[in-house]
Chains A and B, each alone.
Chain A
Amino acid sequence: MDLRSRYLGLELASPLVASASPLTADIETLKRLEQAGAAAVVLPSLFEEQIEHDSVDLHDTLELGAHSFGEALTYFPEMDDYNTGPGRYVEHVAAAKQALSIPVIASINGVTPGGWVRYAELLQEAGADAIELNVYAVETDAYASAASVEDRTLRLVSRVRGAVTVPLAVKVGPYYTAFANVAQRLADARADGLVLFNRFLQPDIDLETLSVKPELHLSSRDELRLPLRWIAILTGRVPISLAATSGAQTADDVVKLVLAGADAVMIASELLRRGPDLLTELTTGVSGWLEEREYASLEQAKGSMSQAACGNAQAFERAQYVRTLVEYQSAGARGQAR
């Protein structure tokens, strides 16, 4: 079965992309992912905040108590290099590129406009086939309007677009009032693709210690529905590559996303649970599904159930909500009756 898919203008052997996770941080695992059938990989994000924090933190530590007391003007030996910058990440990109023949997508989570651009240039230089901008911020300013936040993101994409020539994907969260409009404007800013959606790290409360702790939960299958809806809505409506991330676990999940219009299906949680061999299973499963139904290629099926193509425009909109609720209640009532 011809599973080829174009994502960000890159020719992929299939829509299956190993998303950013600890697995893509290691060159040996990257090779195993490629062997198992990953059509591309996304490397873990380079966090500008982390780099900045590392640098400032190191500086604070080295300065603590320094030049204060005649016997101890410093407390640490002077090193040739502290590797505080993006150096190690850049090396990882280059090493991944060296080790793999599939496209390598580098990811950035920036803070300052200068940082986004600087790191994008560095990663392009290191050989990244594409760059994913991991737009990730929890807006807490009660006086920052949605419009201003969106405008800032768009300006940022334009600036990076102006600085690099490799394809550019933007990974965003789902919490936009008018997401279709945001997607359209990102396309207008010449982003090549959208990655739907960023899962924010959500805090939890430890009842024992009464402390707030960030906890990472691997995604569950339920989370698939949100990208599924928006891919279906945007396919054919906004001229941009679409990738689904969050929740895909089985070949059926992949097929659903492809039918909705996804050019790429990104997988991280399930790979962490089951290892790289999952990709072989998914490839076989997707091929099987398509073959069984006599599709000529994956391309043929792609987007065939998008909002525009499925003939039931409202199915992806509000009505769906009502129906689900009705059915849920009925099911509950039935349960009680027994």
Chain B
Amino acid sequence: MLPARGGGDAFPVSMRATVDGNEAAARVAYAASEVIAIYPITPASPMGEFADGWSASGHPNVWGTVPRIVEMQSEGGAAGAIHGALQAGALATTFTASQGLLLMLPNMFKIAGELTPAVIHVAARTVATHALSIFGDHSDVMAARTTGWAMLCSSSVQEAQDLALVAHAATLASRVPFLHFFDGFRTSHELNTIERLDDDEIRGLLDERLVAEHRERALSPERPVLRGSAQNPDVFFQAREAANAYHDAVPEIVTAELKRLAEATGRRYRLFDYTGHPEAERVLVLMGSGCGAAEEAVEALVERGERVGVVKVRLFRPFAADALIAALPATVKAIAVLDRTKEPGALGEPLHQDVLAALAERGGPQPLVIGGRYGLASKEFTPAMAKAALDELGRPEPRRRFTLGITDDVTRLSLDADPSFDVEPDDVVRAVFFGLGADGTVGANHNSIRIIGEEAGLHAQGYFVYDSKKAGSTTVSHLRFGPRPIRSTYLVRRAGFVACHHFGLLEAQDVLDVADEGATLLLNSPYGRRGTWERLPLEAQRHIVDRALRVFVVDATRVAREAGLGRRVNTVLQTCFFALADVLPGEQAIEAIKGAIRRTYGKRGEAVVERNIAAVDRALQGLAEIEVPAEASSGVRLHAAVPDTAPDFVQRVTAAMIEGRGDLLPVSALPVDGTFPTGTSRFEKRSIALEIPIWDESICIDCAKCALVCPHAAIRMKVFEPEALEGAPDGFLSKEWRDRHRPGLLMTIQVAPDDCTGCGICVDTCPAHAKEEVGHLSINMEPKEAHLERERERFEFFLAIPEIDRATVDVATVKGSQMLEPLFEYSGACEGCGETPYLKLLTQLFGDRLLVANATGCSSIYGGNLPTTPWARNRDGRGPAWSNSLFEDNAEFGLGMRLALDQKRGAARQLVAEVAPDLAPALLDADQSTEQGIAEQRERVAALAERLRGAGDVKAARLLTLADALVHTTVWIVGGDGWAYDIGFGGLDHVLASGSNVNVLVLDTEVYSNTGGQASKATPLGAVAKYAAGGKQTRKKDLGQIATAYGNVYVAQIALGADNPQTVKALAEADAWEGPSLVIAYSHCIAHGIEMVEGMRQQKLAVDSGYWPLWRYDPRNAGPGEHPFHLDSRRPKIPVSEFMQRETRFAMLRRTRPDEYERLASQAQHDVDERRHVYEQLAQLEHESAAEDEKEA
């Protein structure tokens, strides 16, 4: 497909391919488009990444030109850009999902109103309501159904390709724009074996004549027209009706295009496809990936003699009622319409209502039509659930409204599914692999599926379930393969092969519950054939005995290490899988694996290929079957997810989610409004580190840097009175705290051994080393197992040591801040994250009086992704209150919080004067600029509240609800660069201009980190990022300087790893400034391509090279003769290339396009020099001149 022109290589021509839904749709979209506007959003981002990558490599579309890819600042921008491209006569497309689609709606109305051929491909995803969810349902596309776009739904990977083409063809023929959608993750991320469309087939469906007509309608000064007028009551309505014929024609046009597709490929689709008994009485109607599961259920039931069927909806808009009715068997008596969305307050969900309306309009005897919701946010939808809906139709009085897949014990809408109804075909092999993100399990399974699908000639399917954590994450791979296409669009529930790639997982979750009777189990075990059994937890042993599992072990960790692959055990275990699964003959399997290794890693170099191949060759040597005793007898048990000391909610609800039993929680267990307790991460002891830092107090210099830089709050410092050591466990370490103002105190540095991720940043930062041995620092990474029990005991005691009184601490210093309790702890961020130390510091400085507005992105995910949250509370119950609204609106969201606080304070002040005039002076004029001042004000407010509670009058009661507003609350608006520089910039700018007392912290990783590293306007010149695969061509936006232009905004640019005191100082100054503040924090990131352990060092290089200058602009110093701009970093000590070459994001361009790298690197140096020159002058600038006479004086 897409033959090579213009220097690009051709795509492989093989017709059979193993791809996911995103790739399947993106290939067609790319081949059929000229302008593609993109913006990252899960789960649609990969479509943009594919397109950008193909374009960067020079792949042409079917007309021989390379499509132009443009990344915009938001989906709204992308929609605007394609609208313009369409108006100017190009074929344009974009990819999106969820909130992104919502941002496109205004343009979609326009594009449809102007009858413009266009396609948007949507990986359908939940729209955020009580919570954000990245997973799949139809709530986003349903929000677009009023736009006038045709809506075409694909229910499988094959269809995602085929119907993508039909959408592109039909939009040209009909002039109605098409929204082509498929289920996020279930289809967008499912790997499946498909028949690929070749270039001629694509070209064959795209009529050149229609393309020419599109061009003729385009705006051109050669034949000028006006489009987009403003219309009045006299004609708007008629004009709106003028296009009716075009919309009416769509179903027929789509039918014709489907026919042409069938003629070219043999694959037949209709607007509504029916499967089932020809004289069915009970029928399901649904669309999307759920069709696969429903079809399986229906076929099995028909085989059992039941008269049931299913209608799969492909064209949802325009809704072709005649075609639906034609598809339904005449015998139908009852219909259950399943919607993968929820419209609170509606009579029924959209598809349900449409089916009802179609039947009502047909007239005649009406079948019973009931409506149910299923699958919200990728909730599993299984054949058993489809059967439950069909069963409901057979009851005397079926429920009119119902839900599937959950237990609703509140409104009792849910239907129970029979768990024993299992219709998976016997000729399908099912395998489940439990791995760690870091061990490469998913990557190897991608290869296995390709091998099976393309070399073994079977159909193969792969679906991958990921963790909500980024550090130490676990993955579960679900593989199926068999002789026929695989439609099972749900997780494997009964596997004939189970592999556990990390022995520790066996103790953390019930891994073997998925194993079928007589299944094969492959364990990566360091304990060998004889030692493994006794180390298995009792629960696992029971499964093995009860289900007669065959158990094989291999020490893959050792083999991988010896082959030079580190922790990546994937190749070894993949080889063992093929040896045991018997899908290909031994030798052929080995050769296929090696071939896959060459294909996957060949580009990365011979050494990588050789090491993996060596691992393949050695893999089977250690593979052995263990003898299974007749009875389970282990003394080891599955770990409890949370301690029994945890609060009730954590034990009932959170624990179930941690253990992977969240699906079983009933509706009543969940909060009705998305409100959750904070401080829950401390109960989720993940213990993922292999090594932890161990303190040597004898050489500690009390610098507090280790605690300051720890991204996970797992290295803590406390300073305390000696009496606090009473009852300390033996050997609890402490030392004298060296502070001449406060003699006699002790200090301890303590690791939280089960919360540490082992990133090593603390050790990399420690400046204290032994005189006798330079490599021995005051903290050193040591194997966890050797220290675990002792450090657990010590940490428990450490937590019980009283916190120091904040009022006695010089808070705005490095040491002072680290004496305070962090209220952001143990997040699921990447090991060594560069963002989290700033947030933790923020909570140490102001955590007890902090409201956080958090933009969507990494920080909202590690901050708010269930099951637990790192935002915590102190012993008084105070702590940060946190919320995430959206991606684009975060500055406004935070401003709103400030406005509310100010308004409440204003009202409270007014009432105090009326209700408690005697307290007014102290309460209203309190100085709250210090910890002491805040503590005293809290006492005053408590006294006021005490008095008000007894008062009984209306005003007193009103004041009671407002009294808290008299204590200073600080608002911090937190987000990444994607938000601040791009999608939220307009709002940020407005909020900064408002003059309000809000503080903005930009965690600047210089890419969209959370969605996998797409370029933002913060991405520096020369960096390779997704959506900038050829290296970023423009320099980074100087956001800080833009903000200083307002004059009344406090602005700082900081980098913790380069200058600790400046960081602490800037945050404190920003908070203290009673106007808007903007702090831009350099945050090293996994997407920079660095060793995360060196993150802080890399920050220092960024500053030392002048790449990231440190400065503060303080409006308080803008008076006569003062210099508000303070340049904190010294003149560059090293060339910027020294910083750049240590990061893969730059080095990658050096590898791929050395000349371009040289050009951009030299431009980068030039930019750095120029900026330094300008900043040095800014630092000399007086903003208000001192009067002449003062000067003379």
Contact = CB atoms under 8 A, between A and B. Distances in A.
Contact of A71 (B42, B475, B1144, B1154): B42
A82 B1157 CA distance: 13
Interface stretch (A73-81, A282-290, A321-329): A73-81
B785 interface: no
Interface in B1009-1037: 1009-1013, 1024-1029
Contact of B1086 (A65, A77, A78, A84): A65
Interface in A82-118: 82-85, 88
A73 B466 CA distance: 10
Given A76-B1089, A77-B53, A77-B56, A67 B605 contact: no
B718 interface: no
B470 A68 contact: yes
Which of A59, A61, A65, A77 has the most CB atoms of chain B within a 10 A radius of its CB? A77
Given A67-B443, A81-B603, A76 B608 contact: no
Contacts of A68: 436-438, 466-467, 470, 473, 475
A54 B607 CA distance: 9
B470 A69 contact: yes
A67 B611 contact: no
A71 B1012 contact: yes
Interface in B35-64: 42-43, 45-46, 49, 52-53, 56-57
Interface string B1-45: 000000001000000000000000000000000000000001101
B769 interface: yes
B134 A56 contact: no
A76 B1026 contact: yes
B566 interface: yes
B470 A82 contact: no
A77 B473 contact: no
Contacts of B1025: 76-77
A67 B608 contact: no
Nearest to B466: A70
B605 A51 contact: yes
A70 B42 contact: yes
Given A65-B830, A76-B1089, A77-B49, A85 B56 contact: no
A125 to B, nearest CB: 16
Which of A52, A63, A78, A81 has the most CB atoms of chain B within a 10 A radius of its CB? A63
A62 B605 CA distance: 13
Given A71-B861, A77-B1024, A65 B1144 contact: no
Contacts of A85: 605-606
A55 interface: yes
A66 interface: yes
A72 B468 CA distance: 12
Given A82-B1152, A85-B606, A67 B475 contact: yes
B437 A65 contact: yes
B1011 A58 contact: no
A84 B603 CA distance: 8
A60 interface: yes
A64 interface: yes
B467 A69 contact: yes
A76 B442 CA distance: 17
Main secondary structure of the interface of B (DSSP, over half): mixed
Contacts of B774: 210
Contacts of B1078: none
A3 B607 CA distance: 45
Which of A55, A61, A75, A81 has the most CB atoms of chain B within a 10 A radius of its CB? A75
Contact of A72 (B1012, B1089, B1144): B1012
B935 to A, nearest CB: 41
A76 B1013 contact: yes
Contacts of A80: 9, 57, 603, 1152
Which of A54, A65, A80, A84 has the most CB atoms of chain B within a 10 A radius of its CB? A65
A224 to B, nearest CB: 34
Contacts of A69: 437, 466-467, 469-470, 473
Given A59-B601, A62-B604, A71-B1012, A83 B470 contact: no
Contacts of B130: none
A55 B607 contact: yes
A69 B605 CA distance: 26
B611 A56 contact: yes
B1148 interface: yes
B564 interface: yes
Interface in B741-786: 769, 774
Contacts of B605: 51-52, 54-56, 58-59, 82, 84-85
Contacts of A52: 605-607
A59 B604 contact: yes
A210 B776 CA distance: 12
B1152 A77 contact: no
Contact of B1089 (A54, A55, A75): A75
B466 A58 contact: no
A193 to B, nearest CB: 29
Nearest to B769: A210
A82 B604 contact: yes
B1151 interface: yes
A71 B134 contact: yes
A192 B1032 CA distance: 50
B1013 A81 contact: no
B568 interface: yes
B1095 to A, nearest CB: 12
Nearest to B857: A71
Nearest to B40: A71
A58 B769 CA distance: 32
Interface in A199-246: 210
Nearest to A210: B774
B711 to A, nearest CB: 14
B1044 to A, nearest CB: 32
A56 B564 contact: yes
Given A59-B601, A80-B57, A82-B1151, 10 more contacts: A58-B605, A67-B442, A68-B470, A71-B1011, A76-B1026, A76-B1089, A77-B1027, A82-B1148, A84-B604, A88-B1154
29 contacts: A54-B605, A55-B604, A56-B605, A56-B607, A58-B604, A59-B605, A59-B608, A62-B1089, A62-B1144, A63-B440, A63-B443, A64-B1086, A68-B436, A68-B437, A68-B475, A70-B43, A70-B134, A71-B1011, A75-B1012, A77-B1027, A77-B1028, A77-B1029, A80-B9, A80-B57, A82-B603, A82-B1151, A82-B1152, A85-B606, A88-B1154
Interface of A: 51-52, 54-56, 58-85, 88, 210
A-B residue pairs, 5 tightest by C-beta: A68-B437, A55-B605, A84-B605, A72-B1012, A67-B442
